[in-house]
Structure 1
C-alpha cells in the first residue's frame, strides 16, 4: 500500500474541516476517497466542493462494504462513535475517531476490544497533543525536572456559551442528544491532556456537578472535582460554560517547583533545591527554597487535526507509533464519567469506576431527557464537532 484511501462518516463541522484539508493534499499519502452523510444537502455539497472522484454514500455500512476505502474517519454524534468504529473494524478498516471516544466507558471498552481483535490501526483525534505547549509540559514532567508531582489544578472556564447557543438545536445540551454537557462537549481535550501530560493514575474522586446553572438546559455546565492519585498527590478540576471572562490555567506542582500553562506560555517556577531536601536541612523558623521563575522556550507549530491524521496515515503505512492511540480515549472519558457518577450518587467514586452503575444512571437521565432517544439509538443529526 503506497497511500491510504480515507472515508469520512459525517459531514458536519468537523467532518467538513477534515475533508477540506484532505482534498487540499495536506496529508501526505492520505487520499480522500469517499464521504458519508444521511443528509442529501451535505452529499450535494461534497459533489460540488470535493469533486465527482470522491464517492458519496448515505449510510456508513454502504461505504464500509464498498471496497473504496482503507480507513475511516468517524465524525458523527457522540453516541455513535463506538458502534460505527466496531462496524468498521469488522470490515477490516483502520479507524480514526473524533473526540470524545464515546459517552460512557462501557461502550468505549467494547470498541477498544474490537480494535485489538482486528489488528488494525486505531487513533483518536486528540489534536491538542500536537500543541507544543502541552508536548513540552509532558516532556519536562517525564524527564523528572519537576520531581515527584504533588498537586494538579486545572481551571478551564473559558467555554462561554449563551442561551441562544443551546437553543440553536434541540439535541444540544440534552442527555439523549449529546450524552452530557461541558464534560462531554467542550472538555475532552483537557481531560485527555490532564492524564497524558502528568502520567498520574487517579485513585478516587469526589465531584460536584451542577445542571443548567444560569442556563435553561438539562446537562452539567458547572463542575468542581477533587481527585486523589495513587502516588498520594491530589488534584482539582474546575470547568463551566457561563463565566465571562473565563480562565484556562493548568498548574502542576512538584518537589522541584511548579509548572503553569496559561495565556499561550509555559512558566516554570523552579526551586534551586528540592522542597523535600530544604525541609530536611533547614533549621530556621521561617524560610523557603530559593525560586527562579522563567518562561520555558516552546517550539512553534503544531498542525493540530491534519497532524493527527498524518500520524494515523504514517502508522498504517510505516508502522510508526501513534501520538494519540484510540484506546486511550477511555482515560479522559472515565474522568468525566466519574464526575457525573459522584454527583448522581452523592459520594466518592473509586477508579476504575463501576461502569454498569454509570450506564444505569445515564439511562435514567435519558428517559427523562427532552430529546427522547435511547443511548443505543442512532442519532441522525450530525452534531459532532459543533462545540
Structure 2
C-alpha cells in the first residue's frame, strides 16, 4: 500500500513535533504533505524546518480541499478540535485529534457521530496508553486479578505551574481560551486512564474545585472529587498545579488485594485468600488475610506520541485495532465536565451529565473570561470553535 499522505493543522508545540516526526520519515507508511496554521510565523517555521516540498495553508478548509492529504492530525486549541474533525470527516479524511477531544461533551458527541458516519479511522492522542506500567495494570485488572474493584484513589499533584507559565499567553488558564484548567489541560490522560484501566464509569460525582487558588487565573487549578459506581465501589481523585513537590500515586483496591503505581513501579499487594472468602470463613475475631507484596515485572518502554501515530497509520493501512479510538475521548471528558458542573452547582452530578446544563454554565464562564476582554495580549477563542 502507498504511504498515507498526512496533513497537520496547527504547528505549535505539539503540531511541530508531530510534523518533524513525519518529515524525518520516522513513521513507517506515512509521509507529511502539508500543514495549516493561521499564524504566518508558524508557516515560515514550516518552510524553514520541514522542507520546501511541504505545502502550507493559512486556512484548514484550504488544506481539506487541496487533494494533497488522506489523513489529518489536529493540533489546534481545545475548542476547535470537534469542529475541525467534523470538517475533515466531511472531506473524506482520516483524523487523529490531540487531547482533549474537546471542551464539552455535547460538541464531542457530535464529532463522534460524524466519525461513525464517515467510516474513516478516528484516533485520539492518548499517548499514556502506551506506558507499559498502565498497560500492565489494565491487563491485570481486566483479567480479574483484583476481583471486583472496590476503591480507586489517584493523587496527581505533580503538575506544578508558576504564575509566569500562566502569564506567557493571554489565552492560558481562561475559560474562553482553553475552556478549563488542570482537568482539561494537564489531566486528560489520567482521566482517560482511570476509566480505561478499570473499564468502569461512575454513576455520580461530587467535586470541589478551587478556581485560581494561589494563582492569578480564572480556571480550576485545585480539584478533589469523590465518585460512586453502580457496584458500590468509590473513587477519590485529587489534582492541583501549585503543590511542590507533588505526588503521582494510583491505588486500586479490590477483593483480592491492592495494586499501586508510583515512582515508575507497579506493586501488587496480593491476598492469599480473597477478602470475601476470608470474611465468610474466618472465626478468629481480629485478623486479616495473608498478603504477599509483589513487584510486578513490567517490560518495554512507552512509545508515547510516535506510538499513537504509528498505530493510527497502521489502522488506516491495514485495519489494525486502535489503541486509542477517538470515540473514547468523550469518557474522560465526561468525568472532567462532571467535576466542574458539580462545583458550579454545588451538588452531586449523575452520569451521563446534563450536557445542556453544562454548556449553559460554561457559557456563563466564557462571557466573563478575561481573554475576551484583553484581545490584544494573544489570539483568543470563542465557544463556537473558531481558533
Band the TM-score falls in, shorter-chain normalisation: over 0.9
Once residues 109 and 250 of structure 2 are traced to their aligned partners in structure 1, the CA distance between those partners, rounded to angstroms, is 28
Once residues 72 and 155 of structure 1 are traced to their aligned partners in structure 2, the CA distance between those partners, rounded to angstroms, is 35
Once residues 121 and 164 of structure 1 are traced to their aligned partners in structure 2, the CA distance between those partners, rounded to angstroms, is 39
Cα distance, 1:103 vs structure 2: 0.1
- Over aligned residue pairs, what C-alpha RMSD do you find? 0.8
Which string of whole-angstrom CA distances, capped at 9 and with x for unpartnered residues, describes residues 108-150 of structure 1? Answer: 0000000000010000000000000000000000110111110
Partner of 2:382: 374
Once residues 285 and 6 of structure 1 are traced to their aligned partners in structure 2, the CA distance between those partners, rounded to angstroms, is 66
Contact 1:35 1:54 in 2 (8 A): yes
Which string of whole-angstrom CA distances, capped at 9 and with x for unpartnered residues, describes residues 205-249 of structure 1? Answer: 100001000111100000000000122100000000000100000
- Relative to the length of structure 1, the TM-score reads 0.97
Deviates more, 1:101-110 or 1:38-47: 38-47
Partner of 2:75: 75
Instruction: Give 5+ residue unaligned stretches, structure 2.
Output: 373-380
Cα distance, 1:320 vs structure 2: 1.1
Contact 2:96 2:326 in 1 (8 A): yes
Instruction: Give 5+ residue unaligned stretches, structure 1.
Output: 380-387
Partner of 1:384: none
Cα distance, 1:377 vs structure 2: 4.7
Tell me the number of residue pairs that the alignment of Structure 1 and Structure 2 aligns.
379
Partner of 1:263: 263
Once residues 165 and 93 of structure 1 are traced to their aligned partners in structure 2, the CA distance between those partners, rounded to angstroms, is 35
Partner of 2:300: 300
Once residues 295 and 329 of structure 2 are traced to their aligned partners in structure 1, the CA distance between those partners, rounded to angstroms, is 31
Cα distance, 1:289 vs structure 2: 0.5
- Relative to the length of structure 2, the TM-score reads 0.97
Q: Kindly report which structure 2 residues correspond to 1:192-271, keeping only aligned pairs within 5 A, or say none.
A: 192-271=192-271
Q: Kindly report which structure 2 residues correspond to 1:64-213, keeping only aligned pairs within 5 A, or say none.
A: 64-213=64-213
Which string of whole-angstrom CA distances, capped at 9 and with x for unpartnered residues, describes residues 37-67 of structure 1? Answer: 1111111111111111111111110001000
Cα distance, 1:21 vs structure 2: 1.2
Partner of 2:376: none
Displaced runs of 4 or more, over 6 A: none
1:345 aligns with 2:350: no
